[in-house]
Structure 1
Amino acid sequence: MLSQRLRTARKTKGLTQEELAEHVCTTKGTISNYENNHSTPPNDMLRQLADVLDVTTDWLLGRTDEVTAYILPATGETNQRSLDELLQEKIDDPDDYYFLDGYLDASEEEKKEIRRYWYDLKKQWKVRKVREERPPSLFDITEDIKKK
């Protein structure tokens, strides 16, 4: 559970294993060992990882599905955000929704192929120093067509 959630949280934050390792003063190999379930982080490292990744240690350990706790500014009360709420933020864009919907319905082999293609594409962008600019969404394109 820890290994999967650690990897998920790291990728959600857009960090590489090396970048995460730098944030918690360890090595890429150590992070890789945690993510591949070859070793388990000690308590102080677990706290550091949770802090950097903006998740709770309970979520990392699989004790809860509440990903993160945050403080409400006016009251100082703690409120838990569920995975559903965080996912909803990601799928508010229609393009993201249709992509995620198709991805979630894909077979494991199809998901592996999609991920492999995505990582290769990101590597090519870095090598070519291509700026990642957000193209117009499907929603924006259809709205423009409707206006014409």
Structure 2
Amino acid sequence: MKDMVQFGLRIRQLRKQNHFTLRELGERSGVSYSFINSIENNRFNPSRETVIALADSLNRADKDELLLLAGFAPTDEESLDAPSGPGVSNIDDPEVSLFFKDFQSAPRERRDEMLRFWHFIKEQQINRTPDSEQ
């Protein structure tokens, strides 16, 4: 299930945090400023490619979060900090697929809680030093 209201609000928030006008974000992303305005005001749903273009153009944007809010499951090659190497799950993993299916069909409150938990985990990983225990 898409949460386009939250997606539009998050794009606007990130755009303002980056001190971009609609036109500046449009130039950086290759997405027309009028379409970005429509996304921010929940009039249009962006394609997966548009979400990725916007995320790539916005500093501090979490591509996975934006893809999830727009109703798309992120993939390893599209993730900003996608893990790689042996034993790393990808979207073909049944458990990962179930997670995204659960996320998409969950009520808004549950999706918000799942995203908060995801951000908590990512923040803990950023602050972790190489010699600390997991």
Task: Give the TM bin, normalised by the shorter chain.
Answer: 0.3 to 0.5
Q: What is the TM-score with the length of structure 1 in the denominator?
A: 0.42
Q: Which has the larger radius of gyration?
A: 1
Q: Which has the higher strand share?
A: 1
Q: What is the TM-score with the length of structure 2 in the denominator?
A: 0.46
